[in-house]
Structure 1
Amino acid sequence: MLGLGLLERTALAIPPVQRTILPNQLVLLVSEEHSLPLVTLQLLVDAGSWRDPQGKEGLAYVTANGLLLGTSKHRATVLNELLDFIGASLDASGGRDYATLSLQILKKDLDQGLDLFLEALTQPTFPEEEIRREIEKTLGSIQAAEDQPTAVATKAFQKALFPSGPYDHPVEGTRDSLPKLSRELLVDFYRTYYHPNNAILAVVGDITLEEAQAKLLLRLTAWPQGKIPKSTVNPQFAQGPEKIQIDRPITQANIMIGHGGISRENPDYYALTVMNYILGGGGFASRLVEEIRSARGLAYSVRSSFDPGRYPGPFQIVLQTKNASAREAISLALQQMERLQKEMVSDKELEGAKKYLVGSFPLRLGTQANLAGLLVQVEYYGLGLDYPERYPSLIRSVTREDVLRVARTYLHPESCILVVVANLKEAKLD
C-alpha cells in the first residue's frame, strides 16, 4: 500500500478541476491531464431508480440502457460500428441515485465521438423491438439470480429493510414490474428527467476548459432545459430484530446481518469509514476476518459495509460459512459489533485504518474514468471540488473517541435484520 509520503506527492499531482455552468444550466467540470492523447467524458443525470413510479420499478434502469438502443440517425448496430471504427467506448447505466453516460476516446477522434455521445443523449428513439429485447434480457438476469444464494439473500434483505421509500426495490426492477414497462413510459421518463439543468458533465484528459466549452456549446443548443418535478421522499427503515430463513439445498450458508445506515451527506461519514475498516471493511486487517476466518476458520469470506447514497442506505455484514457453522458465525459477528460499542479501538488499529484509507485514495483516481466518476459524484453529493485534497485530512482527523461514538450511534446489534440462505436442516438456527 502507498505510504503517506507517496500519498502527499500523488495527492498534489491530481489535476486541478475547473467548474462552470453552461447557458443551458449544465454543470461542466473539466480536469486537464495531457500525458496521453485521451479524453473521457462522464455525464450524470439525476434520474436513478429512486425516481421509479410505484409499480413501474426498473423504468429508470431500462431508460438509461435505452439511450444506446438507437437514435434518430442510427440504429444500435450502426452506432456500435461507428464507435468501433474510431476505437471509442460509449456506455450507459442506470443506478440507485442517478444514471450515467460515459465516453472514452482518442483526442484526434473527439469531434466524431462527441457527436455520437450527444446523439445518444439527446436523440434516443427507444425502438419498441430493442426495448422489449432489453426488458427480456433483464428478466433473464433476474431469473438467473434466483439460483444464486448471495443474490437471493440480498433481495430478501433489501425487501425487509426498506418497507417503502426510494431504495425499496432493485435498481433493475422486478419480474412483476418489468413486463408493465412500455416505450411510452420510457419516452415520458426521458422527457421528464433528461435535461441539462438536471445533469453534471465531467471531462477529463487531453483537453482544456476552453476547448470543452467550445465543442459542447456548438452541440448542445438542441438539448432543452426542463422543469424537473419535485419528489417527496420519506425514507424508512424497518425496525428489527427480524430473522428470515430461506431453505436451499446448498453446502454453505449465505448470511446477511444489518440495519439502516446513513446518507452520503452525513458528517460522520469519515469516522464511520474508519470504524467500518476496523470492523470488516479492511480485509485481513479487520476484526471480522481475524475472528471468524483466521482464528476460527469458519468463513472464507466475511466483510462489512455502509452503503450511503442520496438517501440513507444499508449497513450490512455479509459472510459465507458451512451450514453447521452458521449460528456460531452469526453470534461472532454480532459480538464484534458490540465490542466496538464497549471499548475504544487500539492506537495500532486506528493508525492502520487511517494509513490504508489515506494511502489508497489516490489509487482510486488512477484512471481518467475513475477521476471523471469521482468528479460527478463530488458535485452530485455536494462535497466540494477540493474534496480530493481534503479527504486525507478528513480521515486523519478521526480519533479513537470518534470511532467509539459512531459505533454507539450507528451500530444496532440488538435490532438487526438477519437473512440466512442455507440448508436449514443442517444450519439448525432455531
Structure 2
Amino acid sequence: MSRIISRIILFIFMPIIFRVILAGSVHASPMLPVERMVLSNGLIVLVSEEHSLPFVTVRLLMEAGSRSDPPGQEGLAYITARGLLFGTTRLSAREINENIDFMGASLNVSPDKDYVTAALRVLKKNLDRGFGLFIEALMRPGFPEDELKREVEATLGSIKSEEDDPGAVADKAFEKHLFAGNPYGHPVEGTSESLPRITREAVVRFYKEHYCPNKAILAVAGDITAQEVGEKIVPILETWERGKGRTETFPIFPAVDNAGPKTIRIDRPITQANIVMGNRGISRANPDFYAVAVMNYILGGGGFSSRLMQEVRGKRGLAYSVSSAFETYKYPGSFQIALQTKSASAEEAISIGLKEMERIQNKPVTEKEIEGAKKYLIGSFPMRLDTQEKVANFLTQVEYYGLGLDYPLKYPSLIASVTREDVLRVARAYLQPREYLLVIVANPEQTGPESPADR
C-alpha cells in the first residue's frame, strides 16, 4: 500500500550541552532525524532513532478518551482501554502477561480525558515478538465478559476508597461543577452510578467506533531505524482497517459563567481543610499557552519561588504546600489553586489566593520574576526528552496537538519572547478572582460558616 513519507530533521536539546542566555542565543544539540509517515489507512507513524541502549519503545495514542463517554455510561472509555489487556481472540490475559514477562518487556494502557495511550518497551532482539503481542491486543481484543465485570467491580472499589481521601474528593467536585454538562466534568474512571450500566456490548461498540487507525498516532523510539520500521512494523499496521469513526460535538463554554463566585462545601470530620479554587482555562493549542506558562510559574507553579508559596507558607506558615496549575486539553481545561491548611486557617488562605490572583492582574511582575520563570521553563525542557519513553510520548503529544515536529526548536524562543506585558495580559484574560469556583472539604465546625465566596 502507498504511504506519504516526509522526513523532518528535529533538533533535540540535550541537558549536557543545552545552554540558554535569555538576552542572547539558544544553543542546540546535534540534529536528530525523525521520520513521519502517513499510512494509507490514515495512521500517522513517527520514528526517532536513538541507539545508545538496545531497547525500542512503541507508543500509540488513540483519540478515545473519557470525553467520548456516552451520557450515562461515564467510564466506558476507561473500561474499554483496560479491556485491551484482558486477552485477545487467540490469547488469554495470562498468556499475554507470561510472554511479556519472559521477554523482560512492559506493556501498559493509560486512559485519559482526550485519548488513550498504549505503550510497549522491549529489547531490540525481542521486537518482533513483543510488537506482535502489542498489535494483537490492540487489533483483536477479546473483551471477555468475566474480566470486564471484575474490572468494573475493582474500579468501583477504588472509587469508594477515594471517598476517604479529602484531596481526591475536592478535585472531583471541582471538575464536576466547573465542567457541569461538559465531557471533561466526570472522572476518567467513571462514577459509582454509571459503571454498573456498562456492558460488554457497550464496550465492543465503543471499541468499533473509536479504535481505528485514522484516529491514531504511533511513535517508535530507540534502537531501530526508519527502514526497519518500514519493513517490519508498517506492513502489519497497514492491515488495520480504516474506520468511519464517530463524529463528536464538544460543548464550548465561555471562560466565565458571569454569575459571581460559587462555593461548594463538603463536610468531613477532619482537621485539615482541602481547598481547590479556580475557573475554566485554555486549550493546549491556545497561542497564549507560553505566556500563561510563565505567568503561572510566577503565581503558583514555581514551587518555593512562586508568590503563593511565599505568601501562604513562607510568610504565614498556613500550609505545607500550595500551588497553581493550568490543566490543558484539546478543548479548554481549567485553572486551579490547590492547598491544604488547618481548618481554622481556611478563610485566610483563600483570601490570600484571591489577592495574589488580583495582584498579578493589577501590576506587572518584576524583571527578576519573569527572567527566573523563563530560565527554569527553558532549562528544564530537555528533561522531557531524556529517555526513549519520554521521546515517544513527546512525539505523540506534539502530533496530536498540532504543535509541529520542530517544536523542540521553537519552544525556547516562544518562552523567551514572553514579556511582562504578556504576563499581565494573560493574567487579566484567564484568571477570574471574582468569578471563581471554590471547593472546600473540611470540618464545618472548625472552618466557620462563611468563605469569601459566601459573602
TM-score, normalised with respect to structure 2: 0.92
Q: Which residue of 2 aligns with 1:45?
A: 62
Question: Which residue identity does 1:412 align to in structure 2?
Answer: Q
Q: Give the conservation status (yes or no) of the 8 Å contact 1:250–1:422.
A: yes
Question: Which residue identity does 2:156 align to in structure 1?
Answer: L
Tell me the CA shift for residue 13 of structure 1. 4.6
Correspondence list, 1:123-162, <5 A: 123-162=140-179
In structure 2, do the counterparts of structure 1 residues 83 and 3 end up closer, same or farther at CA, with 3 Å as the change threshold?
Answer: closer
Q: Which residue of 1 aligns with 2:93?
A: 76
**Residues 299-320 of structure 1: CA distance to partner in whole angstroms, max 9, x if unpaired?**
0010000011011011000000
Tell me the CA shift for residue 4 of structure 1. 8.8
Tell me the CA shift for residue 162 of structure 1. 1.0
Q: Which residue of 2 aligns with 1:277?
A: 297
Q: Give the conservation status (yes or no) of the 8 Å contact 1:3–1:355.
A: no
* SS of residue matched to 1:414: coil
Alpha-carbon distance in structure 2 between the residues aligned to 1:129 and 1:11: 53
Q: Select 1:245's aligned residue among 254, 265, 281.
A: 265
User: 1:16 aligned to 2:36?
Assistant: no
Alpha-carbon distance in structure 2 between the residues aligned to 1:9 and 1:68: 44
Question: Which residue identity does 1:230 align to in structure 2?
Answer: T
Identity %: 58
- Structure 2 unaligned regions, length at least 5: 1-14, 451-455
Question: Which residue identity does 1:29 align to in structure 2?
Answer: L
**Residues 30-49 of structure 1: CA distance to partner in whole angstroms, max 9, x if unpaired?**
00001111100100011111
In structure 2, do the counterparts of structure 1 residues 322 and 248 end up closer, same or farther at CA, with 3 Å as the change threshold?
Answer: same
Q: Select 1:94's aligned residue among 107, 111, 115.
A: 111
Q: How many residues align?
A: 429
Q: Give the conservation status (yes or no) of the 8 Å contact 1:166–1:235.
A: no
Runs of at least 4 residues off by over 4 Å:
2-5, 7-11
| Deviates further, 212-221 or 18-27 | 212-221
Q: Give the conservation status (yes or no) of the 8 Å contact 2:284–2:331.
A: yes
User: 1:225 aligned to 2:242?
Assistant: yes
Q: Give the conservation status (yes or no) of the 8 Å contact 2:107–2:120.
A: yes
User: 1:193 aligned to 2:210?
Assistant: yes
Q: Give the conservation status (yes or no) of the 8 Å contact 1:11–1:388.
A: no
Q: Select 1:297's aligned residue among 313, 317, 321.
A: 317
Q: Which residue of 1 aligns with 2:50?
A: 33
Tell me the CA shift for residue 375 of structure 1. 0.6
Tell me the CA shift for residue 9 of structure 1. 8.9
Alpha-carbon distance in structure 1 between the residues aligned to 2:88 and 2:428: 53
In structure 2, do the counterparts of structure 1 residues 14 and 375 end up closer, same or farther at CA, with 3 Å as the change threshold?
Answer: farther
In terms of fraction of residues, the more helix-rich structure is 1
Q: Select 2:408's aligned residue among 379, 385, 388.
A: 388
Question: Which residue identity does 2:354 align to in structure 1?
Answer: L
Question: Which residue identity does 1:216 align to in structure 2?
Answer: I
Q: Which residue of 2 aligns with 1:317?
A: 337
Q: Select 2:233's aligned residue among 216, 222, 225.
A: 216
* SS of residue matched to 1:175: coil
**Residues 322-358 of structure 1: CA distance to partner in whole angstroms, max 9, x if unpaired?**
0010000000011000000110000000000000000
* SS of residue matched to 1:17: strand
Alpha-carbon distance in structure 2 between the residues aligned to 1:355 and 1:132: 50
- RMSD after superposition: 1.5
TM-score, normalised with respect to structure 1: 0.97
Q: Which residue of 2 aligns with 1:333?
A: 353
| Deviates further, 209-218 or 184-193 | 209-218
Tell me the CA shift for residue 376 of structure 1. 0.4
Q: Which residue of 1 aligns with 2:425?
A: 405
Alpha-carbon distance in structure 2 between the residues aligned to 1:429 and 1:337: 24
User: 1:306 aligned to 2:326?
Assistant: yes
In structure 2, do the counterparts of structure 1 residues 408 and 37 end up closer, same or farther at CA, with 3 Å as the change threshold?
Answer: same
Q: Which residue of 2 aligns with 1:177?
A: 194
Alpha-carbon distance in structure 1 between the residues aligned to 2:185 and 2:349: 28
Q: Which residue of 2 aligns with 1:256?
A: 276
Q: Give the conservation status (yes or no) of the 8 Å contact 1:11–1:362.
A: no
